[in-house]
Amino acid sequence: MTDLWTTLAPQLEHLGPSQPRDALALADAHRAELAPALVALLEALAADPAPAKAEGYVLHLYAMLLLAAWRDTRAYRPLAALGHLDEASIDEVFGQLVHDSYGRALASCCDGDIAPLTRLADNDAASLWSRAAALEALTLAALEGRAARGPVVDFLADIGTREAALLKDKPDAGAELELLDLLVVCLADLGAVEHLPLIGEWFAAGLVDDSYAAPADIEADIQRGPADCLEALRSAGRGLIDDVARETALWPAFHELPPVQLPPIPLGSLREPVKRDEPKVGRNDPCPCGSGRKYKKCHGAN
């Protein structure tokens, strides 16, 4: 452990009343020196996530974002391993970031081997949100050239076919967000026009919630070329992680803490909405995260 890490870690360890911009800038300026410590932190948490469940602890989230911005592939496997935690643990470890940053961080660290992501997406015992992050990572990594597009598209079509078969026998299919809803959007984002007939069959069978992904929208989106698909994701704020300060500037905790010294606040506060003067987001309104999905099918679903 370096002297710099010993000095820097306490500044990033817990949520505070302001963003630690100086500490983030210092970390970025010494990435080669600090990256091994950040990777080791994620590896340790993948073996035992208990420290990340402590109230107010966010060092692992900064580690994830910094390593993602640095495109450090050593973080890829421990990050993917963390996604296999149970639903409650995912909520404690990642909070809102399982929606906002986790999938994009996985794509940013991807080393070209999609197996860690396909295993996570295929794990029906894992949190839906972790699996969704894996799908997002596969899609983004393929569009960014960090993974081969062909195998990703093949996997999405295959898991989609299997999920569709399961939904046909599920009594309450469609009552909540299903993995197939997400898969359809990912195939469209990848421009997988070759699978449009298959997607049409899923819609015709009533297996895809058309309030989440309308058939006409999917048909239009899937016709786009890869460059247009990628630009659409980037414009929606769903591209690779590039600027950690920007990623963390909107963490609600930074807006809600008064400028006085307080005990560490729970990580769960990352999942509370920012307090605003304008009306609340309606369940059928677009989600303010910029995903293009309805609020009830995105951040309003958890």
Which DSSP string corresponds to 173-236? TTSS--HHHHHHHHHHHTT-GGGHHHHHHHHHTT-S-TTTS-HHHHHHHHTS-HHHHHHHHHHT
25-78 pLDDT tens trace: 999 999 999 999 999 999 999 999 999 999 889 999 999 999 999 999 999 999
Identify the pLDDT of residue 126. Answer: 95
Identify the pLDDT of residue 10. Answer: 93
Give the integer Cα–Cα distance in Å for 23 and 25.
Answer: 5
Check pLDDT > 50 for residue 118. Answer: yes
Check pLDDT > 60 for residue 133. Answer: yes
CA pseudo-torsion sign 289, 294, 300, 302? negative
Q: pLDDT category, 129, cuts 50, 70, 90?
A: very high
Give the integer Cα–Cα distance in Å for 178 and 173.
Answer: 8
- Rg, Å, the chain Cα set: 19
Q: pLDDT category, 260, cuts 50, 70, 90?
A: very low
Identify the pLDDT of residue 2. Answer: 75
Report residue 286: phi and psi, to 5°: -60, 140
Identify the pLDDT of residue 279. Answer: 43
Instruction: Pick left, alpha or beta for residue 56 (phi over 0 → left; psi -120 to 50 → alpha; otherwise beta).
Output: left
Average pLDDT estimate for 260-278: 37
280-295 pLDDT tens trace: 444 445 565 555 455 5
Identify the pLDDT of residue 57. Answer: 93
Average pLDDT estimate for 76-105: 95
Identify the pLDDT of residue 173. Answer: 59
Average pLDDT estimate for 157-181: 85
Neighbours of 231 (CB within 10 A): 14
Neighbours of 178 (CB within 10 A): 21
Check pLDDT > 80 for residue 149. Answer: yes
Would you give the distance in Å from CA 154 to the centre of its chain? 21
Three-state SS for 125-139 is: CCCHHHHHHHHHHHH
Instruction: Pick left, alpha or beta for residue 55 (phi over 0 → left; psi -120 to 50 → alpha; otherwise beta).
Output: beta
Check pLDDT > 70 for residue 199. Answer: yes
Would you give the distance in Å from CA 199 to the centre of its chain? 24
Identify the pLDDT of residue 3. Answer: 87
What H or E segment, with its residue span, contains residue 152?
helix 149-168
What's the token pair of residue 104? 């994009």
Identify the pLDDT of residue 105. Answer: 98
Q: What is the mean pLDDT of the chain?
A: 85
Percent above pLDDT 90 for the chain: 70
Give the range with max mean pLDDT: 21-25, 173-177, 293-297: 21-25
Bridge partners (DSSP) listed for residue 286 = 294
Q: pLDDT category, 170, cuts 50, 70, 90?
A: confident
